[in-house]
Structure 1
């Protein structure tokens, strides 16, 4: 019996060879981003982590910095969550990863790290991104980029980041994908979700990002409800007087954007009334140091100025130490830490220190979107899942405003409000 052979077209062989070369290149880039043990990291439990840069605009030399943690168990079976911090202009590496929900938190003196028993990577693969460009280690070689940053610019950059990141980590392309964040990320997150959703409609299945939903906490969402919540929270917690509260109600019409100058003046006075209170946690003690003792270059006048100015955003996360932000900045300004994270390879922060929040971004950011609620309605109709949570001690983006805008969506309630208790702390939930 004559043996038979299957002839393969030369183009097929070339395609297979190219595919294999691309796979090898992606694996090499991925492994090049692997971070071993960081300075001061505990040896146990082990943490699988990667960090580095992904280019989002080759022409302008624009790249975003990420820090990625695989799930503690069965990462191949767990979803992928992207985390974004807000303000705008604050670092997801310094806040989200190293102070809140990452597996490695900066310790109480800034000399090392400690394991976070409440890390989200117990249940998911966690991707932290410093965005927009100019925040943290993310950089651009074209300074005019920093003059053009608004919500649309950010969403498009992060989408490009995701496409390129998945090319580097193709094993996660099929995973359920969720976008999450807090504060001004209440704008970033739904707008990015919309960009992903719209792109997916015009792409083939293997090119789509497997978006399943998004998660937002104490999220800036709608100017009218957000400002109303800020004022009512300050009044109900005795930060402002009855007379001042009535004055704001008489002067301010938060349905108009931007708000009138007289109203803007009153709101600035309201924020100043928090000068002895941490607006992000009104029951927490406030840090009394400017942080200069923790900075490696404390002799530099620019460093001292930034350390003083940053107090407006200092917030307490890990445990009950109100000065934790100082420790985080001290840690990420260490050269050995930056080298271990493959950070600052371009020398972007050579003449300035890494900071938790960028005044350059927050002061010049174009906040042109009054409300993202239309995006909620659009994506809910499309079947995208959304989880909203809101802590009750935040005076900057209070739960009161969150209640108002959730109600404004007019969604049917499937189950009644119920209490939820963890240890001795209580809250309520609604589905």
Structure 2
């Protein structure tokens, strides 16, 4: 009953939203103008990129919403293949940090794209585990306020909601398909981490709904890849301290207080619940929220910034380098970045100003609805993330799916146990990644690559080479 209610409000919102758009919004513009725009978006060469690049890359802006003239920035890399059109299209959506929205370009130049930024913040290094070795990848920066995306409405950088983001993403994708018509028949996969747990299933379900309308542009949605996704905010609030206890960050007494005082997520319990939360924050002050067993930047002198404000003073090492590269004026020129009304563009990894209204408290109804239409789902968890592993496992079990392949180890190319995996009837796979936190492609890039490629090619994760 709750699933049906959630989907009803979901589609009711979008029917009303779609009726307010100008006629033929998604398809406006001529084929000739789109061809010219595509040519203008072509990147001949990024500054300091590796030599012998054998794929094409593009970046620029496309209209996501016409009333406020919201324009999302994108970066597209073709598959590293002599026949890129034969490969599927991965649409990669940015994820948040602990509390903030994040740019898809952060994941691109840190994790899954063809390059990573060197320690000097200026040089691009080939990424041997780039996902464009088996797929075309479209990185979308949204909502407005994230990365280089823009709007004529100043308020867009302060407040939005999940349904708006999904609607804007959909219309952006349709417009992108018109600019790149050679990819309109590609199999499409939605990917991301963390916040993708809400946006991914919601966007996939909306695409499936819009595909039923006779005036829509069909999108061949085939799958969703979600890394350490935030799937159920209430469940996460209740169970998140279980993982912290299992990782020896908090004591049994703090866990017991959290179970007793933080059992319901509502305003009345905030002050009471603050006691165990505050104790955890004190204990975890010098821990990486993405991977509690990883190190902070080795070149940062904690004494010079002070432990109390350490996290507010510095980015993660890799984030510093990406920000340095994307804020080089010549890089922005080559990537066709537009100036803002208030001055030169400034790329930051996170947007902490935009408040996002939650419309999807649990994405499990949307996952089941997408699976019912043949969309496969991969949920993978780096086990050293102290927030989402346990909530995700409980959320998956709550869907009452039938196991098709029981829990077993899977292996990387070094013949080591890379994690564990279980598959369900209907197309859902859940996999863990050992020695990784939320950013699997940073902590264990080879294992993340194997996960994604196996899912995209619809093949089983490797068993041991000894069998």
Q: Shorter-chain TM-score: what band?
A: 0.7 to 0.9
Give the distance between the partners of 1:327 and 1:69, measured in 2 at CA.
21
Give the distance between the partners of 1:426 and 1:418, measured in 2 at CA.
11
Q: Kindly name which structure, 1 or 2, has the bigger radius of gyration based on alpha carbons.
A: 1
* Cα distance per residue 1:283-306 (max 9 Å; x no partner): 211126679xxxxxxxxxxxxxx9
For structure 2, which runs of at least 5 residues remain unmatched after alignment? 1-26, 302-308, 424-467
Q: CA RMSD in A?
A: 2.4
Give the distance between the partners of 1:198 and 1:377, measured in 2 at CA.
14
| Correspondence for 1:198 | 209
Report if aligned partners of 2:77, 2:132 keep a CA contact under 8 Å in 1. yes
| Correspondence for 1:298 | none
Following TM superposition, by how much is the alpha carbon of 1:269 offset from its aligned partner in structure 2, in angstroms? 4.4
Give the distance between the partners of 1:280 and 1:395, measured in 2 at CA.
7
Give the distance between the partners of 1:259 and 1:420, measured in 2 at CA.
45
Give the distance between the partners of 1:232 and 1:129, measured in 2 at CA.
34
SS at match of 1:38: coil
The correspondence of residues 119-134 of structure 1 with structure 2, limited to 5 A, is 119-134=130-145
The correspondence of residues 260-339 of structure 1 with structure 2, limited to 5 A, is 260-261=269-270, 262-263=272-273, 266-267=276-277, 269-287=279-297, 309=312, 311=314, 314-315=315-316, 323-339=317-333
| Correspondence for 1:12 | none
Structure 1 residues 126 and 89, CA gap change in structure 2 (3 angstroms): same
Following TM superposition, by how much is the alpha carbon of 1:184 offset from its aligned partner in structure 2, in angstroms? 1.1
Q: Does the alignment pair 1:358 with 2:366?
A: no
| Correspondence for 1:80 | 89
SS at match of 1:179: strand
Report if aligned partners of 1:239, 1:274 keep a CA contact under 8 Å in 2. yes
SS at match of 1:221: coil
The correspondence of residues 136-151 of structure 1 with structure 2, limited to 5 A, is 136-151=147-162
Following TM superposition, by how much is the alpha carbon of 1:175 offset from its aligned partner in structure 2, in angstroms? 0.7
Following TM superposition, by how much is the alpha carbon of 1:155 offset from its aligned partner in structure 2, in angstroms? 0.3
Following TM superposition, by how much is the alpha carbon of 1:237 offset from its aligned partner in structure 2, in angstroms? 1.2
The correspondence of residues 16-95 of structure 1 with structure 2, limited to 5 A, is 22-73=30-81, 74-87=83-96, 88-94=100-106
Give the distance between the partners of 2:229 and 2:262, measured in 1 at CA.
22
Report if aligned partners of 2:148, 2:345 keep a CA contact under 8 Å in 1. no
Report if aligned partners of 2:177, 2:184 keep a CA contact under 8 Å in 1. yes
Structure 1 residues 195 and 272, CA gap change in structure 2 (3 angstroms): farther
Following TM superposition, by how much is the alpha carbon of 1:425 offset from its aligned partner in structure 2, in angstroms? 4.9
**What TM-score does the superposition give when structure 1 sets the normalisation length?**
0.83
Report if aligned partners of 1:310, 1:357 keep a CA contact under 8 Å in 2. no
For structure 1, which runs of at least 5 residues remain unmatched after alignment? 1-18, 292-305, 316-322
**What TM-score does the superposition give when structure 2 sets the normalisation length?**
0.77
Report if aligned partners of 1:332, 1:354 keep a CA contact under 8 Å in 2. yes
